[in-house]
Amino acid sequence: MTAVIEINGLCKTFGSLWRDDKTALDGFDMYVEKGQVHGFLGPNGSGKTTTLRTLLGLLRPDEGVLRILDRPSTEFGAVAHRVGAIVESPAFFTPFSGRKTLQLLATAGGLPRGRVDEALTAVGLRDRADEPVKVYSLGMRQRLAVASALLKRPELLILDEPANGLDPSGIHAMRTLMSDLAAQGVTVLLSSHLLSEIEQVCDAVTIIDRGRRVAHGPVSVVLAGHDTGEHLVRVADTERAAGLLRAAGATVRIAEGALFVGGVSGPAAISETLGQAGLWLTELTPLTPDLESVFLDLTGTRPAPDAPPQIAIPARRRPPTDSVIDLDVRSEEKA
Amino acid sequence: MNLVRAEVSRLLSRRFTVIMVIGLFAVFGITAATTLANSTRPTGDAWAAAERTAQERRNSLAQFKVTCQEAFVEDREAAEAAFRQGCDVAADASHIRPELYLEDAFVFTQEISGLTVFLAVYLSFFAFVIAASFIGAEMSSGGITNLLLWRPQRSSILGAKLAALTGCVVAFSLVFTVLYVGAFYLIAYTSGWTGDTGAAFWGELLALCGRGIALSTASAACAFALATLARHTAAALGIAVGYFLIWEAGARIVFEIGGMLPYDPYFLSSYLSAFVTGDLKYWTGLDGAGDLVITRLSGGMVLAGLTAVLTVAAFANFRRRDLT
What mean pLDDT, rounded, does chain A reach? Answer: 83
Q: At B20, which helix (H) or strand (E)? A: helix B15-37
On whether both A50 and A130 belong to a single domain, the answer is yes
On whether both A134 and A261 belong to a single domain, the answer is no
* Residue A164 DSSP one-character state: T
Whether A91 has its CB under 8 Å from any CB of chain B: the answer is: yes
Q: How far, in Å, CA of A325 to CA of A239, rounded?
A: 12
Query: Domain of A242?
Result: 231-334
Last residue of a domain, one of A196, A224, A252: A224
Q: Find the closest chain B residue to A60 by CA distance.
A: B322
Tell me the per-residue pLDDT of A255-272, one tens digit each, with 9 for 90 and over. Answer: 888 999 988 888 899 999
**A174 or B232, greater pLDDT:** B232
On whether both A36 and A109 belong to a single domain, the answer is yes
Contact B15 A95 (CB under 8 A): yes
**What domain count does chain A have?**
2
Helix (H, G, I), strand (E, B) or coil at A55: helix
On whether both A151 and A255 belong to a single domain, the answer is no
Q: Residue A305: its pLDDT value, please?
A: 56
Inter-helix orientation angle A238-247/A267-276, to 10°: 110
B195: left (phi over 0), alpha (psi -120 to 50) or beta: left
Q: How far, in Å, CA of A28 to CA of A12, rounded?
A: 9
Does residue B163 lie in a domain region? Answer: yes
On whether both A249 and A105 belong to a single domain, the answer is no
Q: Residue A27: its pLDDT value, please?
A: 93
On whether both A210 and A324 belong to a single domain, the answer is no
Cis omega (within 30 of 0) on the bond before A303?
Answer: no
Q: How far, in Å, CA of B216 to CA of B173, rounded?
A: 8
Last residue of a domain, one of A171, A190, A224: A224
- Enumerate the residues of chain B whose CB falls inside 8 A of the CB of residue A87: 145, 149
Tell me the per-residue pLDDT of B98-127, one tens digit each, with 9 for 90 and over. Answer: 777 878 889 999 899 999 999 999 999 999
- Enumerate the residues of chain A whose CB falls inside 8 A of the CB of residue B145: 58, 87, 90-91
On whether both A86 and A19 belong to a single domain, the answer is yes
In B109-148, the residues whose Cβ lies within 8 Å of chain A are 141-143, 145-148
Between vectors from CA B52 to CA B51 and to CA B58, what angle results, nearest 5°?
85
Nearest to A108 among B2, B14, B320 (CB): B2
For residue A33, is pLDDT > 90?
A: yes
**Cβ atoms A164, A142 nearer than 8 A:** yes
Tell me the per-residue pLDDT of B236-289, one tens digit each, with 9 for 90 and over. Answer: 999 999 999 999 999 989 988 888 778 889 999 999 999 999 888 877 765 556
Whether B13 has its CB under 8 Å from any CB of chain A: the answer is: yes
On whether both A265 and A194 belong to a single domain, the answer is no
Does residue B19 lie in a domain region? Answer: yes
For residue A332, is pLDDT > 60?
A: no
